[in-house]
Amino acid sequence: MEPVITRFPPSPTGALHIGGARTALFNWLFARSRGGKFVLRIEDTDIERSTEESVKAILDAMEWLDLNWDEGPYYQTHRLEVYREYAKKLVDSGHAYWCECRPEDLEERRKAALAEGRKPKYDGACRDKGLSEGPNRVLRFRTPQAGTTLLQDIIKGPIEFENEELDDLVILKSDGIATYNFAVVIDDITMGITHVIRGDDHVNNTPRQILIYRALGAKLPRFGHMPMIHGEDRSPLSKRHGATSVMEYKKMGVLPEALLNCLVRLGWSHGDEEIFSRDELIEKFSLENVGKSPSIFTMEKLLWLNAHYIKEKRPEDLTGLLRPFLTERNYPGKPDAFLAGAIRTLQPRAHTLVEMADAMRFYMVEQIEFEPEAAKKFLTADMAGVFSRLIGELSALSDFGEASLEPVFRNTAEDLKVKLGKIAQPVRVALTGGTKSPGLFEIMEVLGKQSVIARLQKALRYMEQ
């Protein structure tokens, strides 16, 4: 059986976006599920728009998503001689010709064709001139002028194209740089790519590429074109639907496994299952289960998945991931063990690491500020006696765990004839500054005896004033 080799070929003209990340993931999964190879290729022949910053951003995103590649990254700008070698083969076999038409003349002829209701494609003026290579000349592929080209798409099924509708496309520009449709074919041939899996915005490029394969006598790869990703308004995904760059989601506190799980469900399904481990994806992924309709991306679904993965992680594994967000907020440094304890109390409620970092504030700062409304409502003079009693009882405890803390509160409530709920909320305000937090005894255990008593004493002074 032929080994499977897939590729992901981003253009370094910007960051890696959601659509590109899904393409990378599907190619990675298809290769991994069949014990094949996954190749990373940087398509940087757009010299004016390609940047080193974009290359780094793409590689950083791939590494963050842990989509490891077996070969590459290859750079097209390092392969210009390879393209020239294959271009010469096409010239020698009569499948390509040199063209001297000036851009301004081509534009005039294009406008004239449109005005006459004709397709504005190249009119073949230089097709039979027999020109040789020269200054300001481009190399064009000699497209068949009759017949059809059939694309047997793994996802979409068979698609036919009329050759007469296709152009004699430029394959080498006048500066010697290969164009996209030519370079991609030569790369895929020389790298042994067996499956080309990409977005269906490339469908119209495919017949041109198939014709170049045939002109070179090369074996065709299998093509599969995935439907586009749409936002909730059913229009193509864009910035107005929220962040689209992969690393923006990292900054939002999304875990890579949550984003991958969200991406894989954009167009692929396995029964009614929603959540997959990496190993399960490799085991179950197939192109047969990729849908034909556009997929809908929603932040709500991503955040639901992210909350799941945050909840399922060991608190110790989240400490390192959370630290950069804590540093951003200028919180004092705390030991890993303290952070893990605090994280454990926040995991059930956090949708992102940003949310968690914000919720960590009362754990991290030395001096908390009371929310004015909460303090006015709960830190009242009639609670001073309750707080004095609690401070005394808690100070006497040698064990400050949840199991020891609860009896202190129950006994205090019974002895002072106060309902436990009437005590809990003022203590919560005293310890956190607000009225919402994880369980009271949980946070007291994390904060520790010294900090808890200091905060209760501060609240008591507030009541007495």
Q: Helix or strand or coil: residue 84?
A: helix
Phi, psi for 230 (deg, rounded to 5)? -115, 160
Alpha carbon distance 9, 72 (integer Å): 10
Strand partners, 39: 7, 71
In this structure, the number of other CB atoms found within 10 A of the CB of residue 233 comes to 9
Hey, CA dihedral for 264, 310, 231, 250, is it positive or negative? negative
Judge whether 79-226 and 372-464 match in fold.
no
In degrees and rounded to multiples of 5, residue 426 shows phi and psi of -60, -40
The model's pTM is 0.91
- Three-class SS of residue 83? helix
Catalytic: which of 239, 292, 376, 436? 239
| Cis peptide bond prior to 73, omega within 30° of 0 | yes
Tokens standing for 46?
């757009």
Domain map (residue ranges) of the chain: 5-77+229-299, 79-226, 313-364, 372-464
The pLDDT of residue 119 is 86
What is the distance between the alpha carbons of residues 169 and 344, in angstroms, rounded to a whole number? Answer: 60
| pLDDT value, residue 341 | 97
| Residue 229 DSSP class | E
Among 8, 30, 28, CA closest to 20: 8
Q: What are the DSSP calls for 112-139, one per residue?
A: HHHHTT---S---TTTTS-PPP-TT-EE
Going from the C-alpha of 118 to that of each of 11, 123, 149, the distances in angstroms are 33, 11, 21
CATH fold, domain 79-226, is Rossmann fold (3.40.50)
Residue with tokens 């970092």, as numbered in its chain: 357
At the topology level, CATH places domain 313-364 in: Helicase, Ruva Protein; domain 3 (1.10.8)
Residue 73 φ/ψ, nearest 5 degrees: -75, 135
Residue 430 to residue 136: CA distance in whole angstroms: 78
Nearest 5°: the CA angle 68, 73, 76 is 150
Give the SS3 label for residue 38: strand
Query: Cα–Cα distance between 342 and 153 in angstroms, integer?
Result: 52
Residue 248 CA to its chain's centroid (Å): 8
Sign of the alpha-carbon dihedral angle for 328, 330, 331, 332: positive
pLDDT by residue for the chain (465 residues), tens digit each?
Answer: 689 999 999 999 999 999 999 999 999 999 999 999 999 999 999 888 999 999 999 999 999 999 999 999 999 999 999 999 999 999 999 999 999 999 999 999 999 988 888 888 899 999 999 999 999 999 999 999 999 999 999 999 999 999 999 999 999 999 999 999 999 999 999 999 999 999 999 999 999 999 999 999 999 999 999 999 998 888 887 766 666 789 999 999 999 999 999 999 999 999 889 999 999 999 999 999 999 999 999 999 999 999 999 999 999 999 999 999 999 999 999 999 999 999 999 999 999 999 999 999 999 999 999 999 999 999 999 999 999 999 999 999 999 999 999 999 999 999 999 999 899 999 999 999 999 999 999 999 999 999 999 999 999 999 998
Q: Are 120 and 134 in contact (CB under 8 A)?
A: no
Place of tokens 């042994």: 192
Could you give the 3-state DSSP secondary structure of residue 249? helix
Homologous superfamily of 5-77+229-299 in CATH? HUPs (3.40.50.620)
User: Residue 289 in 3-state DSSP?
Assistant: helix
> Are the C-beta atoms of 408 and 390 separated by less than 8 Å?
yes
First to last CA, the chain: 83
239 is catalytic: yes
Dist. CA 257–CA 259, nearest whole Å: 6
Per-residue pLDDT at 244: 73
Decide: 268 and 290 in contact? Cβ < 8 Å: yes
For domain 372-464, the CATH architecture is Orthogonal Bundle (1.10)
Query: What pLDDT, on the 0 to 100 scale, is given for residue 149?
Result: 98
The pLDDT score that the predictor gives to residue 237 is: 79
Bridge partners for 290 per DSSP? 268
Q: How many CB atoms lie within 10 A of CB 175?
A: 8
In 245-397, alpha helices (H): 246-251, 256-264, 278-284, 299-312, 315-328, 336-346, 353-359, 361-364, 372-378, 384-395
